[in-house]
Every structure is written in structure tokens, then in C-alpha cells.
Amino acid sequence: MIIVTGAAGFIGSFLVKKLNNEGFNNLVLVDDFSDETKNKNLEGKQFFEKVHRKDLMSWMDGNGNTIDFVFHIGARTDTTEFDTVIFDELNLNYSKNLWEKCVKFQIPFIYASSAATYGMGEFGFEDSHELVEKLQPLNPYGISKNEFDKWVIDQKEQPFFWAGLKFFNVYGPNEYHKGSMRSVVVQAHKQIKDTGKMKLFKSYHPDYKDGEQLRDFVYVKDVVQAMVRLMFEDHQGPSGLYNLGTGQARSFKDLVLATFAALDKSEAIEYIDMPDHLKDQYQYYTQANMNKLAQAFSDFKFHSLEEGVKDYVQNYLEKPNQFERSR
């Protein structure tokens, strides 16, 4: 059996769909299942059992020998939340407990780290273990992810295989419950449909024009494809941290123009002031160094930004049922 934590969330539910499509239905889905909007992400998915996240550790004590793989995607991901107690409980301590269960039963373990660990990028965006102690995340979310990375690297007892995946700017179907944390694509789709234009933040950095702030945008279909491939030993590199982006930074303006194009509408962008509380914590550039993951599977092809946005807009956001379904 395969455990997926955060199974009702954005990436977790899309991973469940991918696993189903690859023939894996013996899944144990872990979440708190209290959000009905999130639960829609699981409609039509095949699985063996649902387990509340608070019950997972005791459940594993009785069933650990039946588990073949753990995908730990569940986390508190709100970058505007500043209650460190929440992050310590859900992102740090819970993850440590799950790691220890995977050590006990020698279960391969893939978990979600984050590009938020890189902060302003002062030390670059290389997934080197030597850099982890130096990194300076900008918010409690990024700090919690980096603290777990540091803890993992220091562990002498490890699962059979482990990988901490530093997700960059993931976008795609099933993110609709995330409110203000939804990708710019889904926000642009709504604004363009409602008003015919899109608002973007002005730049406050002399090296970047308005709209030219850069991110490594990666389509969720590519993210879950990479994760499933890492299940198989012939695609596994050594255990460790791995960046998961495209390796190509693109601007927010590029992203919005791709959305206009997918809707077959003329571009109209308005640049607005950035809230003061974001100005000192705003990343102007992220780009994953993908050399390490490329060594694990060199033939992997990512969607271009235009391809991913077109698929998302035309095959999901423009459809009556926007959710990804197993098929």
C-alpha cells in the first residue's frame, strides 16, 4: 500500500489521480477531511482507506509492515501565516514522527520541502546539503520547511530511500480551495473573465521592470510525474534534497500573457502598488538548479509555461467541472 498525506489538497490529490492512472488503487489517504471544497478534489479517486492525520502514527504502528511507500505532501503552506506554533506542529514535529515510522518499518519516504527555504536567493538555488544551514527563509512557512530539511540531513537512521522535494511555483488544477494562495493563473483567469484585464504588482527593485519579476513556474502534472517516477529504483538517485521546478525562470507578465492567449483575448495589464507588508519579503527571482534531478532521469520533459497554462485554462478552468478526475 502507498500512503499519501495531504491527500485532499492541491498536489496530494493530483498525486492520487496520477497513481490511480498508473494502476495504483491501494492507497491510504491521510488528511483531516474537514474542508468540503478540498474534499471535492478526491471525487472519483480510488483508494483503500482514509485515515485522519491525527490517527496516522497509531495506524502505522499496526499496519507499517503493509506499507510500500510514503508520500508526505501534507503541510501548512500559508506564507502569510505567522503563528509559528502551527508550523512547528504540522510541518516540523509531525514530519519528524512520520520519518521515524518510516525508519522503523524501512519504508521509502518522499516529502514536500519548498523553494521558500531559499529566501531571497542570497546563496543561489542549488539543492546542496551544504547550503541548508546557511539559508535564510523569509517567513515561518519557509523556516519550518528548512528546519525539517536540516533535521533530516543530520539523521543517522534513515528510511530505505528518502527524497525531500523543493517545490518551486506549482500551478494547476485542484488548487481552488487555497484562497489567496492560489496561483496567479487561476487569479488571472477570473480577473480577465470578469473585467477583461489583469492586475499585477509594480516592481520596487531597480533591476526588474513592472511585471518582470521572475519565478520558476512548474505545472502540477510535471510535479506528480516526477514523484511517481521516483518510486521506482531505476529512477532513484541517492537519497537527499532535490529541486523540483523547470530550471527556467519566467516573468509574471509571461504567465499572464499566456493566460490571455489561452482565452483568446487581447492583453490588458494594470500595475498596482504592492502592500507595504510584502515589500521587504518579496522574491524577485527564483530558478531551480535541476542538475541533481536530471541525473536521476535525464529524459524528463517539462511543459513549457505556455503549454501548461493553455492546458490548465482550456481543459480545466473553462470547463463546468474544473477538478482533475481519475480516468
Active site residues: 141, 178
Contact 246, 218 (CB under 8 A): yes
- Is the torsion defined by CA of 304, 310, 313, 315 positive or negative? negative
Instruction: Find residue 111's DSSP bridge partners.
Output: 72, 164
In angstroms and rounded to an integer, the radius of gyration of the C-alpha atoms of the chain is 19
Q: Calculate ∠ Cα 124-9-263, nearest 5°.
A: 80
Alpha helices in the chain (DSSP H): 10-21, 36-39, 56-63, 84-87, 94-105, 140-153, 184-195, 220-229, 252-262, 276-279, 291-296, 305-312
Contact 88, 148 (CB under 8 A): no
Question: Which residue, among 145, 149, 323, 159, has the nearest Cα to 239 in the 3D structure?
Answer: 159
Contact 209, 106 (CB under 8 A): no
Look up residue 305 and give its amino acid: L
Q: How far is CA 144 from CA 86, 150, 179, 227, 289, in A?
A: 10, 10, 21, 22, 22
Contact 74, 115 (CB under 8 A): no
- Which DSSP letter does residue 117 get? G
